[in-house]
Amino acid sequence: MKKDRKKYDNQIAIELKESLKEAVAEMAKKPSGFIVDPVRDFTRRRKLDMETLINLILSMKGGSISKELYTYFGGDVETATSSAFVQQRAKIRAEAFDYLFRKFNDASSHLDTNNYDGYRLLAVDASDINIAKNPESDTYLVKSDYNQFQLNAVYDVLNKTYFDALVQPAPKEHEIRAAISMVVRSEFRDKAILIADRGYECFGLYEHIHRTDNLDYLIRVKNKGSTRHADVRLGHCCFI
Say how far apart CA 112 and CA 17 lie, in whole Å: 16
Tell me: the pLDDT tens digits for 95-115? 999 999 999 998 888 888 999
Residues 6+ apart with CB under 8 A from 238: 177, 204
Q: Which residue has the higher pLDDT, 47 or 135?
A: 135
Architecture of the domain spanning 112-233: 2-Layer Sandwich (3.30)
Q: Which residue has the higher pLDDT, 234 or 187?
A: 187
Tell me: the pLDDT tens digits for 39-72? 899 888 888 999 999 999 999 988 899 999 989 9
Judged on CB neighbours under 10 Å (0-12, 13-18, 19+), 142 is exposed
Say how far apart CA 86 and CA 68 lie, in whole Å: 13
Q: Where are the domains of the chain?
A: 2-97, 112-233
